[in-house]
Structure 1
Amino acid sequence: MLSFFKKNTNHKDTNETPVAVVEPVQDTDAGQEPAAEEAETELHIHPDWDIAIQERYVYQFHHAQLPKLKPNQISISKMDVAADDDSFMVNAFIRNTLSKSIRFEEVTLLLLDAEGTAFARKTFDLELMGDLPAGACQPWIFMFSEEDLTGNVFPADNDWKIAFELKKKAPSEHQLMLHESWKNSLNDVQKTRLYEMVSNLPPLTAGEINFMGIEARMADNSDLSVTLLIRNGSDKDIKVEQLPLCFKDGSGELTAKGAFQLTDFEVKANTSKPWTFIFPEALLLNKTPDLSAWKVYPPQS
């Protein structure tokens, strides 16, 4: 087996790219329990791999340095790369925090530079990898050649990532809709996470429109910033001019409420659109809300 390990094993690489991810979201259903914050994985070496005990120790070391994941994620992260003539052998970890094992068939992987732009792309047949157990982290080797490079060269430094390529959905399926400002401000990795989140949400019933919480945080100026996913399960476009919202924090107490004026805000049929709403500090009933669990919802008419 080829050695990918650098002499300096004291370097902690936290430059992970979780993709193909089911990101936990705070549902607007008050009866839903918040998801656990972190999920542990155990190192799993493929039974066909015959590696020396020293290499196993190095894998264990790098596995221990990986950032924590949340439940229900499939993540891929780089470990190392070795160049051999005109090829690049990427050693990577695939982690599974689902409650069941998974099996990959063909997957397309991207190598991304520091700006999130792909500089290499290749499709791999992972049938030989077999089942990846629940809660497992398994190393695997991916061979890229110069023909797979979409950029000019492989970056000379270590500032790059490996990611699953997003599969485009058929027009008839529920899709993510991004405002032009979001398209311009998000990088490829962030867009991929949103696309994967939308694709893994439970399907909407015909005509259903609902709100899913993505993120709530306190801004530096003490305003409350809340990002929602507005989901339109109907076959017609909807336009929103004014949206009243209430926010409850982890204590279950009303933290803020307000009405938001929207200009030319449209959610196309069968799409989900993320948007951020700002509750000014003056509207907060609690200046230090508990954001470990929360919900946001339109008030009852």
Structure 2
Amino acid sequence: MSQEKQNVEMELSLTERFDAVVSDVQKDIMNEEISGLEPIKENDINISTIYVFDDGDEIEAKVYFRNGFPKKVNFEYLPLIMVNSNGDIVASKIFDLRDMGDIPTGGARPWKLYFEKSCVNMEKFSSENCKIIFDRSIKAVNYAKFEFESFPEEFSDFKGEFQRFLENLPNIEKGKFSASVFNIALRQDGNLIVTAIMRNSVEKAVKIEEIPVTIKDENDNVITGGKFQLNDFSISPMKARVCTLAFSTNLDPLDIDTSKWKAIFQ
């Protein structure tokens, strides 16, 4: 007999940007909203609607994305459907949710969604009985699992940290390639060092000859950027490799905190 899934205790999870500006009163309200939602089980992902209303040119919906998985999750482009109390599809749209970031285990992430009136069947719409749900017609995602190859000797003392970082990265589908920043550090000589983890879930080896990178600070200001030529850098299927990139800058490491900086690989 299979063990019954347990409910997962949820807590409010905000992005860093919103956490810095949301008041304690607003957080209390959101915590009350979360406590009023139906519990979710282990290994479930849930979207719960707080309200839907007509905002003039568009329909606004406030929802919570809740993560019952044992590791953090994120969404990139997610198809969602608005339905009414009869189960009729009122609207459908693919949302760009990259700014929502990672949702930790047991995290409830509030988010606002906007449907343009052009994609809404207003005859079936009512702010009192509509909710947002996942598009169940989308096939289940087949995620890839990774292990390191060609691990750099100079990082051998820190391999445990790299391994934990790799295991906690958001899942990617098979057939995809991903680059994730492990660390951004400014050395005493002014060189900016970006250490990244490259993951290959394609069924054949991927050779990277050139990679464009832009470095931004916590306020999205561009610090530096460029295209790097990589020599003999290939990644086998279902493998991950460490990639280190160095920018020459005139920045003073004594005056700068790079802990909230990010690298964009495009």
TM-score calculated relative to the size of structure 1: 0.43
- Taking CA–CA contacts closer than 8 Å with sequence separation of 6 or more, which of the two structures ends up with the larger relative contact order? 1
TM-score (norm 2): 0.49
